[in-house]
Amino acid sequence: MGGVSVLAEAACLLPRESFVYYGDSLHNPYGTKEVAEIKRLSMGAVEFLIQKGIKALVVACNTATSVAISDLRKEWTIPVIGMEPALKPAVEMDNQGTIVVMATPITLREKKFNNLLNQYLSRRDIIPLSCPGLADLIERGVYTGRTIEDYLARVFSGINREEIATIVLGCTHYVFIKHEIEKLIPGVKIIDGNRGTVKHLARILGQRGLLSDRDPKERTISCFTSGRPEIFQPLCEQLFSFCQEKQKQA
């Protein structure tokens, strides 16, 4: 379900484009799986989407990007866009204090993230914060209320909250709990990589002459899942509407 936050951003910024979304709910969460398993599942998801005739792919998952993006780009010639924690904009912000990067355990372990982290450690105090199980909670529709509040209080218990200036959301699921984070740490700046990813997608489509010129009223958004559609579809629509409403307020 995390990628729905990216889908909502893309639907707003690219109103002439049609989208096919695939949520691998049956095998969620990816963030605690072995690398080989994540690669296998990612390949299978992309094969499904390729059969739908897509012209470009967004890997709307930080964990799958960290583990599988290189293999996906070798396998297919269409543009393949991945996610990356928005660490660079966080470092370049005009504020002082600690930057916390919330992400799944495997994202924080992978070479891709650590190469990114090492670029900026000399400039700012950065704390990678592993959040095991959080994506799974959100996947089940738990993104507000006491359960999330207690989880966040526990995971942040070892960090001086008063010193935190910025929180980087390194998992697409975490976009849905921004408000709960703000309640725990009032005044903190929270950023994610969704808008930057979609802007990059738009640039690549433009460079390759792939941008659609269809009437926005004619575009379609189709959603598929490996899990149970009767559970997935209502939650997908709920989270999509939630994201679009938040974007209007921003």
Whether 61 is a known active-site residue: answer: yes
- pLDDT level of residue 86 (50, 70, 90 thresholds): very high
Q: Residue type at 46?
A: V
pLDDT at 246: 63
Q: Is residue 172 annotated as involved in ligand binding?
A: yes
Grouping H, G, I as helix, E, B as strand and the rest as coil, residue 29 is coil
Q: Quick check: 23 pLDDT over 70?
A: yes
Residue 212 CB: number of other CB atoms within 10 A? 15
Alpha helices in the chain (DSSP H): 4-13, 35-51, 62-75, 87-92, 105-109, 111-120, 134-139, 146-155, 178-184, 194-207, 229-249
Domains and CATH numbers, the chain: 4-83+194-249 (3.40.50.1860), 87-192 (3.40.50.1860)
Name the residue among 192, 164, 161, 165 with its Cα closest to residue 178.
192
- DSSP states of 51-103 as a string? HTT-S-EE---HHHHHHHHHHHHHH--S-EE-----HHHHHHSS--SEEEEEE
Q: Is 62 annotated as a binding residue?
A: yes
Cα–Cα distance, 56 to 205 (Å, whole number): 8
Q: Is the peptide bond before 216 cis (omega within 30 degrees of 0)?
A: no
What pLDDT was estimated at residue 115?
A: 93
The reply to whether 131 belongs to the active site is no
Q: Is 31 annotated as a binding residue?
A: yes
Looking at the predicted structure, is the pLDDT value of residue 249 above 70? no
Is 193 a known ligand-binding residue? no
pLDDT of residue 119: 93
Question: 202 Cβ partners below 8 Å, 6+ apart?
Answer: 13, 14, 211
- When pLDDT is cut at 50, 70 and 90, the band that residue 248 belongs to is low
Other beta carbons within 10 angstroms of residue 75's beta carbon come to 13
Out of 131, 171, 236, 243, the active site residue is: 171
Burial, 7: exposed, middle or buried (Cβ in 10 Å; 0-12, 13-18, 19+)?
buried
Q: State what percent of residues in the chain have pLDDT above 70.
A: 97
State how far the Cα of 92 lies from the Cα of 48, in Å rounded to an integer.
39
Q: What is the pTM of this model?
A: 0.88
pLDDT in tens, 206-244: 999 999 999 999 999 999 999 888 888 887 887 777 766
Does 30 carry a binding-site annotation?
Answer: yes
Do residues 69 and 101 lie in contact, with contact meaning Cβ atoms separated by under 8 Å? Answer: no
Active-site residue identified among 61, 131, 236, 243: 61
Q: 173 labelled as ligand-binding?
A: yes
Q: How far apart (Å, rounded) are the C-alpha atoms in residues 194 and 23?
A: 17
